[in-house]
Amino acid sequence: ELLVVGSANADLVVGVERRPAAGETVLGSDLAVHPGGKGGNQAVAAARLGARTALLARVGDDAHGTLLLEAQRAAGVDTAGVLVGGAPTGVALITVDPSGDNSIVVSPGANARLTPQDIRAAGGLLAAARVVSSQLEIPLETVAEVVRGLRPGARFVLNPSPPAPLPAEVLAACDPLVVNEHEARVILGDDAGDAPEEWARGLLALGPRSVVITLGAAGALTADSSDVVRVPSPKVDAVDTTGAGDAFTAALGWRLGLGEELPAAAAYAARVGAAAVTRKGAQDSYPTASELPTAAPD
């Protein structure tokens, strides 16, 4: 039902008292290794909700790649489309100080080697998918090839993160383009305006068929040529917002594939995002369908 084409990273996390200056060494906590990357996160989030989910990605022929594949399989993701080798598995090197602030270095590794040729070679996966969800932690030309390979009538969901200028061909396929506040502001630049409704209008003018803007605890806003709708999020005690947007986007794509209208799919996705912030981590925090909070009252 849902094909995720995107990145898979190993997140290597060390707690430090303070970050080292140039030339300095500091000692940190024990290393924690977590499966991550926006593509991997989306696939796990959807599968855990019960969606039939496949991942098209590239990892290295190394221990991190094995760890990431195991995490996907444990969640029930079909990993037949995950390519192995060509470069080390992507990693995020993360230090966290006592106030919770991060410093992160990402080595894209194998994610940068997921090529348009890989997408063409995986034509069967793409031709079978009713919904395809992507992000921008893989090459933009690869995402463009995904758009070209969509089966007629298939729905394409894109979270343009990290934000980058998008070709018209990719924008025109997005239904919806899913952004958070930061991504909306980067894409719209100085003309962004202040209200999410203005961002939605500005983003729609770029050519996507529909837009969803996630607004943290305030929920989300959906927009297409006929309607702009505010969707509240359930009230929860937020512990860690890491990966909430990925869970939201995966749930949104799955529900759209089931035939739900955009506001209804976003309301479901908001419940998933809200559940994800109540626990630490990204993939570790993702709920099953029975763990979702009830919808916020309108």
3 state SS of 238 = coil
Give the residue ranges of DSSP H helices in the chain. 38-49, 63-75, 116-121, 123-128, 140-149, 168-173, 181-188, 196-204, 244-257, 262-276
Closer residue to ligand ADP, CB minimum distance, 7 or 79: 7
Report if residue 65 touches ligand ADP, rule: CB under 6 A.
Answer: no
Pairing of strands 155-159, 82-84: unpaired
Tokens coding 152: 């007629």
User: What would the x/- binding string for ligand ADP be over residues 191 to 230, using CB under 6 A?
Assistant: -----------------------xxxx-xx----------
Cα torsion 71, 76, 80, 82: sign: negative
Collapsing DSSP states into helix, strand and coil, what is residue 282?
coil
| d(C-alpha 208, C-alpha 158), whole Å | 10
Is 194 among the catalytic positions? no
CA distance 72 to 77: 5
Q: Which tokens in the block code for residue 71? A: 């995490």
Residue 81 among known ligand-binding residues: no
Closer by beta carbon to ligand ADP, 67 or else 218: 218
Q: Is position 245 an interface residue for ligand ADP (rule: CB under 6 A)?
A: yes
Tokens of 17: 């008292």
Regarding 184 and contact with ligand ADP (CB under 6 A), the answer is no
Residue 217, annotated ligand binder? yes
CA atoms within 13 A on the CB side of 272: 34
- Total residues binding ligand ADP (CB under 6 A): 18
Smallest distance, ligand ADP to C-beta of residue 202, A = 18
Query: Is 245 known to sit in a ligand binding site?
Result: yes
Q: Are 154 and 177 in contact (CB under 8 A)?
A: no
Q: Which stretch binds ligand ADP (CB under 6 A): 43-51, 53-61, 139-147, 272-280?
A: 272-280
The CB-of-123 to ligand ADP minimum distance in angstroms stands at: 31
* Residue 234, Ramachandran bin (φ over 0: left; ψ between -120 and 50: alpha; else beta): beta
Would the annotation count 242 as a binding residue? Answer: yes
Q: Answer yes or no: is 214 a known binding residue.
A: yes
Judging by beta carbons within 10 Å of its beta carbon (0-12, 13-18, 19+), is residue 116 exposed, middle or buried? middle
**Counting contacts by CB under 6 A, is residue 274 touching ligand ADP?**
yes
Active-site annotation holder among 62, 191, 246, 298? 246
Q: Give helix 38-49 / helix 244-257 axis angle, nearest 10°.
A: 50
238 is a site residue for ligand ADP (CB under 6 A): yes
Tell me how far, at minimum, the Cβ of 278 lies from ligand ADP, in Å: 8
Nearer to ligand ADP, 8 or 122 (CB): 8
Q: Which among 23-31, 56-64, 78-86, 235-243 is the span making contact with ligand ADP, rule CB under 6 A?
A: 235-243
For position 112 contacting ligand ADP by CB under 6 A, the verdict is no
**Residue 104 makes contact with ligand ADP by CB under 6 A:** no
Q: Which structure tokens are listed for 16? A: 């430090």
Q: Nearer to ligand ADP by C-beta: 138 or 270? A: 270
Closer residue to ligand ADP (CB): 53 or 222: 222
Judged by CB, which is closer to ligand ADP: 253, or 273? 273
Q: Residues interacting with ligand ADP, by CB under 6 A?
A: 180, 214-217, 219-220, 233, 236, 238, 241, 244-245, 248, 270, 273-274, 277
Task: Point out the residues that are catalytic.
Answer: 246
